[in-house]
Amino acid sequence: MTTKNQALAAWVQDVATLTRPQSIVWCDGSDEEYDRMVSLMQEQGTLSPLNSETHPNCYLHLSDPQDVARVEHLTYICTSEEEDAGANNNWLAPEEAKAKMEGLYDGCMDGRTMYVVPYCMGPVKSPYSRCGVEITDSPYVVINMKLMTRMGTLALKRIEQEGSFVKGLHSTGELDPNRRFIMHFPEELSIMSYGSGYGGNALLGKKCHALRIASWQARKEGWLAEHMLILGLESPEGETHYIAAAFPSACGKTNLAMLIPPEKYKDWKIWTLGDDIAWLHMDDQGQLRAINPEAGYFGVVPGTNAKTNRNAYEMIQQNTIFTNVGTTADNQPWWEDKKQGEPASDWKGNPYSSESGPAAHPNSRFTVSATENTAYSSLAEAPEGVPISAIVFGGRRKELAPLVYEAKSWDHGVLIGAGVASETTAAATGQVGVVRRDPMAMKPFCGYNFADYWSHWLSFSERTDNLPKIFHVNWFRQNDDGDFLWPGFGENLRVLQWMIQRCKGDADAVETAIGYLPSEQGIDVADLNIDPDVWQSLISINDDQWRQEMSDFGDYLDSFGDRLPEKLREQHKAVSAALG
């Protein structure tokens, strides 16, 4: 196969000249191709079958132990002006970055096959979708892209019709952490990644394209590319509202997107549209509509069990690629908090011993097609997307942030989003558990200056009166002993329900300096046996702590200098003044 698109054909040729692969394969995205790649990887020893009776068509990939997470310190936005990348990104001049990368790519595919992977982010027939082509020397990337995107012939057809696509070049290189970079060129809609085979660094459709490059495109074209799950909440009367929610990596987006209502709410239903990324466009009624650009889930495995996320637990019993989990003696995948079986081998392929750490890496992942999820919404394939009623921001905070609060306006909601901070997780290399600022959960993913990004968010309230309400949640409050104050998981439905009632004007709230909080009876928790003092602390704020928070947040905003939008400063002043 080759292509009618001259720019694509020429680029593939140029890359081949630089990287000198043994052969070039154009991927068609078929099931036969997937099976062929799986067999090839087994021959090469990079994939092994799991127990085919308990886990049909499931495979295990163990990565290099030094290559298990995103590498934010090696990830760059390369714009001609440094200011356009902003203090929120690492920056290199495009020419310098390219020279560096070309040095690494020189002959790097010697003896390897080069795969050309056309893909479409979003339903192939949606006007909101965007295409890309990833060139990679990693069969692991090819099989993951098949599950995570609409990959192959249909995507290539769309590229040939439209003429435009994002160029992503990837080589695993030597997997040497000292020769590893993830470079983005938003002005040219291109990506260069070298030296890592890990998800967010190597599956270029995901964070690199659908967030970093797309956020840049979205600003130019008047839409939003966000680190958000999308879910539908259906009431017993059959009314469905759609919610988009942003949380940092490994803070429960997949669990929330697949939530199973508790017994008391068994007539309610959650539909999953997406668990990681949302593209939000405004339609001609001024309504924000969301599509999920992805077609699969690349979810955190540890902690997934029949209780925390039954949908996910069941969907990963078949047709799943596991990366960096342990295995049982009968070759089933095993991970911490699976609540079933015992580990025999760990994620490094060694016999399991509790002294040498967890059996599954804390950032071990499953890759599975979205269609394996029984709660997958049929509207996830709708070209026009779904109308969004509420936008939610959240982080992992032991203290400070209440269970839920509502913004007083869109512009105030933008301030709340910009104020998100969260304890770091194993999804990125570096220290875990330290609070860092993570505006809109986009710190690692915004492809341009945050100050310009907030201006873009604020511009939406000038375009329509029909915007979703904005909320903030925190499922992770703890007491001094480190116990969680809120049960979370399925019980989070109660909070979602309050939001939808607020959208419809049917729920009470108490106005505070930081926004509207639920009244004591606003969310029904009577059957949860939460101590009344604990409940109070979950739905109230500590003014002293918040004054400190607003002061720290103000310093952070100031670090963006003159580019910080005046409207955001005013919102910050208003909240600080209300706190006194």
Binding footprint of ligand SAT on the chain (CB under 6 A): 70, 199-200, 206-207, 249, 298, 427
By beta-carbon proximity to Mn ion, the closer residue of 67 and 276 is 276
Residue 485 contacts which entry, Mn ion, ligand SAT, none (Cβ below 5-8 A, type-dependent): none
Torsion of CA 204, 184, 18, 175, to 10 degrees: -60
User: Please, are residues 351 and 307 in contact by the beta-carbon 8 Å criterion?
Assistant: no
The residue (of 207 and 412) whose beta carbon lies closer to ligand SAT is 207
At 83, which helix (H) or strand (E)?
Answer: helix 82-85
User: To the nearest whole angstrom, how small is the minimum distance from the Cβ of residue 200 to ligand SAT?
Assistant: 2
- The token pair at 536 is 């109070």
At 100 the three-state DSSP class reads helix
108 is catalytic: no
- 471 phi/psi in degrees, rounded to 5: -130, 165
The partner residues of 388 in beta bridges, in order of sequence, read 242
Minimum distance, C-beta of residue 203 to Mn ion, in the bound complex (Å): 12
- Tokens 């295990």, residue located: 60
User: Tokens standing for 113?
Assistant: 């096959």
CB under 5 to 8 A by kind: which of ligand SAT, Mn ion, none does 298 bind?
ligand SAT
In the complex, which residue's CB is closest to ligand SAT? 200
Amino acid at 45: G
Q: Would you say 372 and 301 are in contact if contact means Cβ atoms under 8 Å apart?
A: no
Q: How far is the CB of 206 from ligand SAT (least distance, A)?
A: 5
Closer of 202 and 470 to ligand SAT (Cβ): 202
Residue with tokens 């955190």, as numbered in its chain: 300
Among candidate residues 131, 251, 446, 503, the one labeled active-site is: 251
CB atoms within 10 A of CB 486: 23
Shortest reach from residue 445's CB to ligand SAT, in Å: 9
Which CB sits closer to ligand SAT, 21 or 199? Answer: 199
Decide: is 438 part of the binding site for Mn ion (CB under 5 A). Answer: no
The three-state (H, E, C) secondary structure of 306-334, written as one string:
CCCCHHHHHHCCCCCEEECCEECCCCCEE
Q: How far apart are CA 449 and CA 447, in angstroms?
A: 7
Whose CA is closest to 277, among 318, 320, 218? 218
- Minimum distance, C-beta of residue 545 to ligand SAT, in the bound complex (Å): 29
Segment interacting with Mn ion (CB under 5 A) among 153-161, 234-242, 276-284, 521-529: 276-284
Q: How much of the chain is in helix, strand and coil states, percent to nearest 5?
A: 35, 25, 40
Spatial separation of the C-alpha atoms in residues 203 and 138, rounded to whole Å: 10
Bridge partners (DSSP) listed for residue 134:
117, 168
Asked if 249 is part of the footprint of Mn ion (rule: CB under 5 A), the reply reads yes
Q: In the structure encoding, which two tokens stand for residue 399, read together?
A: 């203290």
Cβ 424 to ligand SAT, closest distance in Å? Answer: 11
Return the number of the residue (210 or 538) whose C-beta is nearest ligand SAT. 210
Can you tell me which residue has the tokens 């208003």? Answer: 574
Q: At closest approach, how far in Å is the CB of 69 from ligand SAT?
A: 7
In Å, the largest CA–CA distance within the chain is 69
Residue type, 105: Y
Three-state DSSP class for 21?
coil
- Give residue 249's Cα distance to chain centre: 6
Binding mask 443-462 toward Mn ion (x if CB under 5 A, else -) reads --------------------
Does an H or E element contain 166, and which? strand 166-171
Q: Is the Cβ of residue 29 or residue 248 nearer to Mn ion in the bound state?
A: 248
CA-to-CA dists, residue 329 to 42, 46, 197, 344, 433, angstroms: 20, 20, 27, 5, 33
Give whichever of 150 and 206 is closer to ligand SAT, judged by the CB atom.
Answer: 206
From 70-78, 95-103, 157-165, 273-281, give the range in contact with Mn ion by CB under 5 A.
273-281
Q: Of 71 and 159, which has the nearer Cβ to ligand SAT?
A: 71
Instruction: Select the binding partner of residue 274 from ligand SAT, Mn ion, none (C-beta < 5 to 8 A, by kind).
Output: none
- Binding range to Mn ion, per CB under 5 A, among 115-123, 275-283, 389-397, 552-560: 275-283
Query: Does residue 4 contact residue 160 with C-beta atoms inside 8 Å?
Result: yes
Helix (H, G, I), strand (E, B) or coil at 303: coil
Q: How far is the CB of 253 from ligand SAT (least distance, A)?
A: 8
Nearer residue to ligand SAT within complex by CB, 324 or 474: 324
Nearer to Mn ion, 88 or 249 (CB): 249
| Residue 144 interaction partner, one of Mn ion, ligand SAT, none, beta carbon < 5-8 Å per kind | none
The nearest distance, CB 447 to ligand SAT, in angstroms, is: 14
> Which listed option, ligand SAT, Mn ion, none, makes contact with residue 70 (CB within 5 to 8 Å by class)?
ligand SAT
- Could you say which of Mn ion, ligand SAT, none residue 212 binds, taking C-beta under 5 to 8 angstroms by partner kind? none
- Which residues, 6+ apart, have CB-to-CB distance to 241 below 8 Å? 232, 233, 389, 390, 500, 503
By CB under 5 A, is residue 363 in contact with Mn ion?
A: no
- CB of 298: closest distance to ligand SAT in angstroms? 6
Distance CA 405, CA 403 (A): 7
422 touches Mn ion by CB under 5 A: no
Binder of residue 200, out of ligand SAT, Mn ion, none (CB less than 5 to 8 A by kind): ligand SAT
From the list Mn ion, ligand SAT, none, partner contacted by residue 206 (C-beta under 5 to 8 A by kind) = ligand SAT
Binder of Mn ion out of 226, 276, 381, 406 (CB under 5 A)? 276
Q: Using CB distances below 5 to 8 A depending on partner kind, what does residue 456 bind out of ligand SAT, Mn ion, none?
A: none
Q: Which stretch binds Mn ion (CB under 5 A): 242-250, 281-289, 325-333, 507-515?
A: 242-250
Residue numbers annotated as active site: 251
Q: Which residues lie near Mn ion (CB under 5 A)?
A: 249, 276
